[in-house]
Amino acid sequence: MDYEIRIEGHLDPRWEGWFDGMTLSARAGETLISGPVSDQAALHGLLARLRDLGLPLLSVTRVAPEQSA
Amino acid sequence: MPVALVETKLFRPRPRAGLVPRPRLAALLDAEGSRLTLVSAPAGFGKTTTVAAWLSTAAAADPDRRIAWVSLDADDGRPEAFWTYVLTALDRVAPGTGSAALAMHWAGQPVEAVVATVLNELSVLPDDVTLVLDDYHAAEGPAIQAGLALLVERLPPQLRLVIITRADPALPLARLRARGELTEVRAGDLRFTGEETTAYLSEVTGLELAAADVAALGARTEGWIASLQLAALSLRGREDVSAFIAGFAGDDRYIVDYLVEEVLDQQPAQVRDFLVGTAILDRLTGSLCDAVTESAGGARMLETLERRNLFVVPLDDRRRWYRYHHLFADVLRTHLVAEPQGPVAGLHRRASEWYAAEGESALAVRHALAAGDVERAAELAELAMPALGRERREAVIRQWAQELPEEVVANRPVLAIGLVGGLMSSNDFGDVERRLVDIERQLALPEGELVVADPAELPRIPAALEMYRSALALNAGDPVTAIRRADRALEMAVDDDPLVRAAAPALSGLASWALGDLNAAHASYLVAIEGLHRADRIADVLGCSLALADMELTLGRLGDGRDTLERGLDLAERHRPDGGGVVRGTADMLVALSRCAWHRNDLAASAELLSRSEDLGEDAGLAQNPYRWRVAMARLRAAAGDLATALELLDEAERVYVGDYSPPVHPVHATRARVLVASGDLDGAQQWASEHGLRADDQLSYLREYEHVTLARLLLAQETPAALEDARGLLDRLLRAAEDGDRTGSLIEILALQAAAGRDVAALDRALSLAEPDGWVRVFLGAGPALVPVLQRFVRERPDRAFARRVLEAATGTGTPSAAPARGQHQLVDPLSEREIDVLRLLASELDGPDIARHLVVSLNTVRTHTKHIYAKLGVNNRRAAVSRGHQLGVLSAGRWADQGHHLGHHML
């Protein structure tokens, strides 16, 4: 599954390693963390790590994965 | 103890000097009437500091204040660890309150029973206790949550529970809030106000900052102390304060990231390298840091960091162990992650080596895995397993079974069998068969393809495979296969194999016992005991000796039973630990010897042995001792005619009962039924029989022999022609079964009952002949008053049989009166008052503190005061011990019951 998670604040791309294969893109006071998440347990692990950084969580959305070419 | 305690987790953090006082938070926390205090906010809000400071002030004002602290981490998500820490923490500040619950927990009792036991103690505790669970979010999960919810629901007024967490726990908070029983301190409360920010900044930076600057910092950090702290550190020694603040306020990068970089930039290279290098460590100490960073001076560096308020938190009060603030460590680690793999792996590898040298195999393996050194992790694990087995820390091995990847286990047979051992010890059988099959596959491979770190273990594997299969069979309810495989395992065992040589015969013995073949079980247990003795597992020798004596008694060999127990006692004596104390299991030997004395009708000796056992304290007993002690005491009370107390003791025994591997062949409920029969409560005894589905025409099995003999006693007592006929039929069948199984002990009892049922002198003759060599006397008294005329006739006809006369004298109470246990409080320097005895009686029940108060129509505080005095006078510190001592002194036996029981003579049990 692919997820898009929006948090308030700007996280440096260096933190991508922290989020294990997700992509970070910053815009207008928010950071978008997007990419594949293997299962619900992985998702909750990701959310817990975000929680531990103290950054306000804005939204968590599941998106349809890109159709493979 | 199955969990090795990390002491630093029980250490109450002391607040640093120079903290900004925040009285509004102290006022929040001091709120009256609350049962649960919840401090819930994301990382870096100063939760721990706030609570630590609040408690420090409270402790200073009231040095007797009992404060228990547990710093939780992810490993505590397992109930074994969680409750061990919580109960230990409670027991350390309120000695005696947690020990019974801990014993139950380690014996595998369900959480509900464990929590109920500790609550039972706490609810009558004279003093107040505060329990803090820090970082609760790390441990929370379904496994923990159920038990904690129970604790919260029945929280006694004496216990103040404080939960510090980053996420609201799954507890009924709304309900507590509505009832005004919840005190909350949340992020909104913890944010530093403008005033507090000003005070904080001037304290830390030593600067007099302009109001505008303070406002800017406050706005940017939003009172979040983690960022405020970093900002303050960045400001220290900086020339251009306003420029920094302007730049900082205008930047929208993740604030922690930004500030940590600022602070790191300011540090000398040596410090920076140290911080980045040690970021991988969960806990830090000087020599570990030196090893990881390949330099020196780590201890001094840590002290410096602490002094300069740079991110480290001390974990003890000896400046030995520290950890990093979570957020800081997170940021540091991103610096590491961003770099190429090489350096990080090296850091973990060196940490692993350090831990391995310290003998901390669990952490050594963890770091090796983090370094990607799977092979090294496997090697470390393999080499560490024997020691872990000896220390009974199989939980670590079980963890490895999950963490070590399959490919590394697939060609390491010694590792693989060790992992199986860990799983079996934790009763985790699911995956075992598959693993055993894989080990067999490995053993068929050419030796060159296998990796073995501990070659001494290799020849032991085939026997171990058989042994584990035996255990699986026993667990699956197939004792015949279990015996076959266990015996084969023993045959295959090499000379030097302490595990198989002790465990295989024990398995075989258990299986034989379950099948009712006591002679085979007995023989197997003798071999097991020898194996355990050679392996120096003294407490296990005592445990098996207890089982062996049980079997000997059933086989009618009372003298042998006594010898086995005396040998056990002697062994325990010779292995006393240095520094006082006794081997665990010593108390059990004494209780079992007490039972032997009781069988011989030497009640004075029986009482004395029981008293000696009780004096040794709770640490001297194995898990089942509290229950066995109470049954033994019940028998003595019944013999003295005090049936009401006997019944109470048996109820208590059932409440504290803990099962073990041996078959439950003397269930307390049946013993209780015997007391009911002896007291004339035949309706009650009939109810017992119905509840347990016992009928005279049941198919008989050894496992229910005790219950069926009890039923026979009931039928005899009923005295109707139908009941007598049923009794005779049942007894005939029981007789044949006992003869087939060689169970002479049971045989004597059955014959005595037959003699009473049919006025059968021949049966009595045979019973007496069997009983005389070892002096079984009480068994005849259990046959009831109907036996007396038969005895009288026998004694008339056979004056040469002195033993018969002795039994008759015991049955009619005309012989030398066996000294009843010391009654009254002569042994107490300061005797209990009437009221205190009333309270003590209620302490023996299941009622909690408030219920006891209601019962006595007094306040809970009054009960607590009484409890305090009772504990002091009896020289104990917990409820259960007070009750035991009370029984011991005969204080709990009411005089009025003794009179009532007396005319029933000594026809008890």
What residues does each domain of chain A span?
2-63
Nearest alpha carbon to residue B118 among B78, B77, B89: B89
Across the A/B interface, how many CB contacts are shorter than 8 Å?
Answer: 50
CA atoms B756, B757, B760, B764: torsion sign: negative
Give B63-85 pLDDT, tens digit per residue. 888 999 999 998 898 898 999 99
Q: Which chain A residue lies closest to B340 (C-alpha atoms)?
A: A17
- Check which CATH number belongs to the domain holding B845 and give it: 1.10.10.10
Side-chain-side CA neighbours of residue B533 (13 Å): 15
Mark yes or no for CB contact B166/A52 under 8 Å.
yes
Asked if the structure places residue B706 within a domain, the reply is yes
In order of B78, B79, B106, B151, B170, the CA distances from B144 in angstroms are 7, 6, 16, 11, 10
Give B786-799 pLDDT, tens digit per residue. 899 999 999 999 99
Regarding whether B655 and B761 lie in a shared domain, the answer is yes
Give B374-425 pLDDT, tens digit per residue. 999 999 999 999 888 877 788 889 889 989 999 999 999 999 999 999 999 8
Rounded to whole angstroms, the Cα distance separating B510 from B502 reads 13
Question: B480 is in which domain, residue-wise?
Answer: 411-586
The shortest C-alpha distance from A22 to chain B (Å) reads 14
Mark yes or no for CB contact B42/A15 under 8 Å.
no
> Exposed, middle or buried, A2 (CB in 10 Å: 0-12/13-18/19+)?
middle
Which of B254, B257, B261 is the best mutation test for A, with the most CBs of A within 10 A? B254
pTM score, whole prediction = 0.85
**Four-CA torsion B731, B736, B740, B744, nearest 10 degrees:** 50
Regarding whether B679 and B642 lie in a shared domain, the answer is yes
Regarding whether B516 and B435 lie in a shared domain, the answer is yes
Regarding whether B75 and B178 lie in a shared domain, the answer is yes
Highest mean pLDDT range out of B66-70, B242-246, B878-882, B894-898? Answer: B66-70
* DSSP 8-state code for residue B253: B
Mark yes or no for CB contact B334/A9 under 8 Å.
no
- State the amino acid at position B718 in one-letter form: Q
Mark yes or no for CB contact A17/B334 under 8 Å.
yes
Mark yes or no for CB contact A12/B254 under 8 Å.
yes
Asked if the structure places residue B435 within a domain, the reply is yes
- Distance from chain centroid for Cα B657: 13
Regarding whether B203 and B173 lie in a shared domain, the answer is no
Rounded to whole angstroms, the Cα distance separating B324 from B332 reads 10
The CATH number of A2-63 is which of 3.30.70, 1.20.81, 3.40.50, 1.10.1740? 3.30.70
Residue with tokens 């770190």: B453
Output helix, strand, coil percentages for chain B, rounded to the nearest 5.
65, 5, 30
Residues of A in Cβ contact (< 8 Å) with B335:
14
The whole-number pLDDT of residue B19 equals 84
Mark yes or no for CB contact B257/A12 under 8 Å.
yes
Regarding whether B115 and B27 lie in a shared domain, the answer is yes
Where is pLDDT greater, at B819 or B235? B235
* DSSP 8-state code for residue B159: E
Mark yes or no for CB contact A53/B254 under 8 Å.
yes
Contact status of A1 with chain B (Cβ, < 8 Å): no
- Among the candidates B190, B210, B244, a domain finishes at B190
Regarding whether B515 and B655 lie in a shared domain, the answer is no
Q: What is the mean pLDDT of residues B532-551?
A: 92
Token pair for residue B781? 């008294």
- Among the candidates B145, B164, B190, a domain finishes at B190
Rounded to whole angstroms, the Cα distance separating B464 from B432 reads 13
Which residue of A9, A14, A53 is in closest CB contact with B338? Answer: A14
Token pair for residue B820? 């009843």
Regarding whether B655 and B579 lie in a shared domain, the answer is no
Rounded to whole angstroms, the Cα distance separating B551 from B665 reads 10
Residues of A in Cβ contact (< 8 Å) with B226:
54
Rounded to whole angstroms, the Cα distance separating B788 from B807 reads 10
The residues with which A34 forms a beta bridge, in sequence order, are A4, A23
Tell whether the model's pLDDT for residue B815 goes beyond 70. no
Give B91-112 pLDDT, tens digit per residue. 999 998 998 899 888 878 889 9
Residues of A in Cβ contact (< 8 Å) with B333:
18
Mark yes or no for CB contact A14/B252 under 8 Å.
no
Q: What is the mean pLDDT of residues B5-25?
A: 88
Residues belonging to chain B with any Cβ–Cβ distance to chain A shorter than 8 Å: 42-45, 166-167, 224, 226, 252-257, 326-327, 330, 333-335, 337-338
Element (H, E) at B106: helix B99-106
Mark yes or no for CB contact A51/B42 under 8 Å.
yes
Whether the Cβ atoms of residue B474 and residue B511 lie closer than 8 Å to each other: yes
**What angle separates helix B432-443 from helix B461-475, to the nearest 10 degrees?**
160
Give B333-379 pLDDT, tens digit per residue. 877 765 555 788 899 999 999 999 998 999 999 999 999 999 999 99
Regarding whether B44 and B141 lie in a shared domain, the answer is yes
Please measure the distance between the N-terminal and C-terminal CA atoms of chain A and give it in whole angstroms: 17
Regarding whether B204 and B184 lie in a shared domain, the answer is no
Token pair for residue B744? 């002479």
Token pair for residue B705? 């022999």
Q: What is the 3-state secondary structure (H, E, C) of B657-721?
A: CCCCCCCCCCCHHHHHHHHHHHHCCHHHHHHHHHHCCCCCCCCCCHHHHHHHHHHHHHHHHHCCH
Please measure the distance between the N-terminal and C-terminal CA atoms of chain B and give it in whole angstroms: 37
Where is pLDDT greater, at B204 or B742? B742
Token pair for residue B546? 């207890």
Q: Which chain B residue lies closest to A55 (C-alpha atoms)?
A: B254
Which residue of A14, A29, A53 is in closest CB contact with B252? Answer: A29
Mark yes or no for CB contact B43/A52 under 8 Å.
yes
Q: Which chain A residue lies closest to B43 (C-alpha atoms)?
A: A52
Mark yes or no for CB contact B334/A51 under 8 Å.
no
Query: Which backbone phi and psi does B400 adopt, to 5 degrees?
Result: -60, -35
Whether the Cβ atoms of residue B774 and residue B748 lie closer than 8 Å to each other: no
Mark yes or no for CB contact B43/A53 under 8 Å.
yes
Q: How many domains does chain B contain in total? A: 5
Regarding whether B763 and B842 lie in a shared domain, the answer is no
Token pair for residue A14? 């260096």
Regarding whether B180 and B205 lie in a shared domain, the answer is no
Where is pLDDT greater, at B286 or B622? B286
- Among the candidates B156, B190, B224, a domain finishes at B190
Neighbours of B885 (CB within 10 A): 23
Token pair for residue B272? 């920076």
Highest mean pLDDT range out of B451-460, B561-570, B806-815? Answer: B561-570
> Exposed, middle or buried, A28 (CB in 10 Å: 0-12/13-18/19+)?
exposed
Nearest alpha carbon to residue B561 among B511, B532, B587, B522: B522
- Check which CATH number belongs to the domain holding B130 and give it: 3.40.50.300
Tell whether the model's pLDDT for residue B907 goes beyond 70. no
Residues of A in Cβ contact (< 8 Å) with B167:
51
Rounded to whole angstroms, the Cα distance separating B515 from B688 reads 25
Coil/strand/helix, residue B65 = coil
The residues with which A63 forms a beta bridge, in sequence order, are A2
> Exposed, middle or buried, B614 (CB in 10 Å: 0-12/13-18/19+)?
buried
Asked if the structure places residue B329 within a domain, the reply is no
- Check which CATH number belongs to the domain holding B509 and give it: 1.25.40.10
Rounded to whole angstroms, the Cα distance separating B130 from B69 reads 8
Q: Which chain A residue lies closest to B250 (C-alpha atoms)?
A: A29
